[in-house]
Amino acid sequence: MAGTTTRAALLGSVSALTILTSAVLSSASAQTTYLDAITIIATKTEEYAIDALAPVSTLRTEQLQQINATRIGDLFQGMPGVTTSSSAQEGSTSINIRGLQDWGRVNVVVDGARQNYARIGHTSGAGSFFLDPELIGGVDVVRGPTSNIFGSGAIGGVVSFRTKDVEDILRPGQTWGFAGTLAGAGGSSFNTLASFFAASRMNPNAEYVIGATYRHNDPYKSGNGTFIPNSGQDAASILAKATFRPADGHAIKISGIIQDNQFTSGPAVSSGIVRDWDAVTSTLTANWRYSKPEDRLYDFSGTLYWNRVDNTSTTLAVNPGYAGFYGPLGNQAYYLIDTIGFDANNTSRFDTGAIRHALTYGGDFFNDDVANRDPGGFGAGYNPKGTRQIFGGFVQLKSNYSTWLETITAIRYDNYHLEGNHYITNALISTEGDRLSPKFTLGITPITGFQVYATYAEGYRAPAVTETIVSGTHPIPNFPFLPNPTLRPEVGKTAEIGFNIKQDNLWAAGDKLRIKANYFENNVDDFIDPVVVLAGANGCPIAAPFFCQQYQNTPRARINGFEFESTYDRGNWFATVSGHAIRGRDLTHGDPLNNIPPDMVALTFGARLMDQRLVVAMRWAAYAAKKRIDLPADDPLAPGDEWASFVTGSYNLVNLYASYDVNPGLQAFLQIQNLLNEEYKVYNYEFASPGITVWAGIRYRFGADANGNVQAMLDSQNSTRNLRANADATRATR
């Protein structure tokens, strides 16, 4: 890893770049107005993200292009309070918000469909999902249970992905067109990416988009040249969307996604188990939206969805000592979950004197049907069959007085039922529960452009099928898993204070300063965690080798921390600074919690040159070490130190990005990831990360008007970026 000398050199480079760019830009003037992103993730009502009385972060077109993510985890590097967990040998990702992840603690939705796939494994993440970054048109994140109306279980937060839509392909006035990316990478590995999307506005009341992506990643080398076996993957996807407007104010959107991720896990030689994986994710959603500016009684959105993950593993090689656990060569294990659900809500607006109100009310439901099967191994005990139904309803009142006072009061009701069969005895295991979860937020704007707010919110997470019913035997070391039908749901209780700063024309005409910062404390009652059970205790058989393992409730855990993100945009140059410092502890035993991310600070500096046709940017993210003292105490019954492999050193991650608009429909880009060729390991990742990787490619976007003539693009590509935000902003002015 780079030491003090490297960091000093980097700081010198940053300073030099800043001075040089400032000199180049000193005579230039801002030419483009960049609109604030519109989001509904905090309150289910449209508002600017900077105005939300909640810790909200967004990614839109410009940021997504600069990140040029190879995997989903790349999107969240530098985002405060958000990290990911994955393996170089897995195609899936698990999102961590404020030290909480897996089993639905973070509600991940794609086009409104919940992603509830979970498979126990050392690196797979018990709450992971598959999604190609090239499909994404926007990302919205809210941290903590402040958005408990968004769905059950999200005591950590909500991440909402929007896949590309017609407005991401066509420009205003175009009736048909196409867009896509062709790119390749070299350095630590050879990677390729190809995507193609076509869209058509057949008439004012009907439009569609179809697209496909293909991504190939070779196995890579880390910063010191270490080859990471089986770290490559192939991913292909198909997207189709159609929107119909049958009447004024009504829009029906139907969306379908099929993704196929293929990868291999295991060591380079068969010291254990090598398996080939084929994960197919299918998502189908149908949304009906009704909204008219003059209709204050009805502002309705309803979504029906189905999501299936069918992940099949085939044993390619197995050490003879492991065959009893994983089955013989050629054994196929099937990990399948079907999730069906709906989400519907309406907002009614009214006034009482000088106070403006938005009353939002609705309900949601989903059913998880887990049907895992492993004919020759123990995988179906690790990941048992079962079903879980969860439904809830909520009411939220958002009130504004003048321009300086805002209150949000909400209450949510959740109810769940879970059942399945013991893997060994086939005995039926069933559990259920319900709860009311309140929320209250007070926001004050003492001066224009400065808001301060305080929130208290609770969230309720029902246990997952696996947490409740898991059984069977772990291979090496050998110990049984015990089901726990008395497992209680988790309750997150978060208190938070924060502020928002929004200033325009502060130091120059057209500039924008945006700052969001907050401090939070989340007390989680009945926190669920796997614990060791001594042989002869709590159902662990005397014949067990020393101990068993079981998911149990810890009476109370506490997570607190500070988060901030800021952006200054002057049109021809921009800078962002973000970071977090989070701590978490089991208050019963005094141990640190094991999913708390290391401290992080990230800086991005960029410039838009040559009439903003050339964009260059550098991002530097510094991550603190994760020391042994930061992790739970070792279990004396387990051989060695079970947490030793989680210890990570500090590191600096530097990425460079440049794009140039060759013409209005063609953009060339170059990106250098891990510029310092740092040897580093992300906390909660099994393997070291890739060394220096250089991406080069083109993005194309062409369209035509109704007469079939190629339509001239707008004066510059920048003026039509964040098209989604522009469209939403128009609606938000009502």
Residues 332-346: pLDDT tens digits? 988 899 999 999 999
| Res 150 pLDDT > 80 | yes
**Cα 351 to Cα 399: distance, rounded to the nearest angstrom:** 9
Per cent of the chain over pLDDT 90 is 65
Confidence of residue 716 (pLDDT cuts 50, 70, 90): very low
pLDDT one-digit tens code per residue, 414-446: 999 999 888 777 888 899 999 999 999 999 999
Q: Which of 19-28, 147-156, 657-666 has the highest mean pLDDT?
A: 657-666
| Res 1 pLDDT > 60 | no
| Res 720 pLDDT > 60 | no
**Which tops the pLDDT comparison, 497 or 382?**
497
- Residue 11, H or E segment: helix 4-25
Enter the DSSP assignment of 374. -
| Res 325 pLDDT > 90 | no
Mean pLDDT of 192-197: 97
- Per DSSP, the residues of 52-93 read -SS-EEEE-HHHHHHH--SSGGGGGTT-TTEEEE--TT-S-B
| Res 718 pLDDT > 60 | no
pLDDT at 575: 96
Mean pLDDT of 138-153: 88
**Cα 458 to Cα 413: distance, rounded to the nearest angstrom:** 11
What would the two tokens of residue 264 be? 């291999």
**Which residues touch 15 (CB under 8 Å, ≥6 apart)?**
none
pLDDT one-digit tens code per residue, 228-266: 999 999 999 999 999 999 999 999 999 999 999 999 988
**Cα 116 to Cα 139: distance, rounded to the nearest angstrom:** 18
Print burial letters for 126-142: b (CB count within 10 Å at least 16), e (below 16): bbbbbbbbbbbbbbbbb
pLDDT at 729: 40
pLDDT at 692: 97
Peptide bond before 246: cis, by omega within 30 degrees of 0? no
The number of helices, as runs of H, and strands, as runs of E, in the chain is 7, 33
| Res 638 pLDDT > 80 | no
Q: 205 vs 114, 250, 294, CA distance in Å?
A: 28, 10, 20
| Res 27 pLDDT > 60 | no
pLDDT one-digit tens code per residue, 68-103: 888 899 999 999 999 998 888 888 899 999 999 988
Residue spans of alpha helices (H) in 112-189: 166-169
Mean pLDDT of 499-516: 95
Q: What domains, with CATH codes, occur in the chain?
A: 4-266+275-732 (2.40.170.20)
**Cα 530 to Cα 554: distance, rounded to the nearest angstrom:** 10
pLDDT at 452: 98
Per cent of the chain over pLDDT 70 is 87
**Cα 453 to Cα 163: distance, rounded to the nearest angstrom:** 32
Question: Which residue spans within 587-692 are E strands per DSSP?
Answer: 600-609, 614-623, 651-663, 666-673
* Residue 485 CB burial class (10 angstroms; 0-12, 13-18, ≥19): middle
Confidence of residue 715 (pLDDT cuts 50, 70, 90): very low
| Res 710 pLDDT > 70 | no
Q: What share of the chain is helix, strand, coil (3-state, %, to 5)?
A: 10, 55, 35
Which of 298, 390, 398, 396 has its CA nearest to residue 343? Answer: 390
**Which tops the pLDDT comparison, 319 or 681?**
681
pLDDT at 172: 86
Which of 253, 256, 258, 176 has its CA nearest to residue 213? Answer: 258
Mean pLDDT of 180-200: 96
* Residue 583 CB burial class (10 angstroms; 0-12, 13-18, ≥19): middle
pLDDT at 123: 53
| Res 712 pLDDT > 50 | no
pLDDT at 704: 87
**Cα 81 to Cα 583: distance, rounded to the nearest angstrom:** 11
Confidence of residue 148 (pLDDT cuts 50, 70, 90): confident
Specify the range with the lowest mean pLDDT, choosing from 133-137, 440-444, 531-535, 629-633.
Answer: 531-535
pLDDT one-digit tens code per residue, 572-585: 999 999 999 999 99
pLDDT one-digit tens code per residue, 514-568: 999 999 999 999 999 888 888 777 778 876 667 788 899 999 999 999 999 999 9
pLDDT at 276: 92
| Res 9 pLDDT > 70 | no
Mean pLDDT of 490-510: 95
Confidence of residue 26 (pLDDT cuts 50, 70, 90): very low
What would the two tokens of residue 615 be? 């964009």
Find the Cα–Cα–Cα–Cα dihedral 269, 271, 272, 277, rounded to 10°: 0
- 492 within 8 A of 461, measured Cβ to Cβ: yes
**Cα 492 to Cα 360: distance, rounded to the nearest angstrom:** 23
Mean pLDDT of 214-241: 95
Which of 464, 487, 482, 463 has its CA nearest to residue 472? Answer: 482
- 284 within 8 A of 306, measured Cβ to Cβ: yes
C-alpha 140, offset from chain centre: 8
pLDDT at 640: 66
Which of 467, 378, 473 has its CA nearest to residue 429? Answer: 467
User: pTM here?
Assistant: 0.89
- How does the average pLDDT of the chain come out, rounded? 86
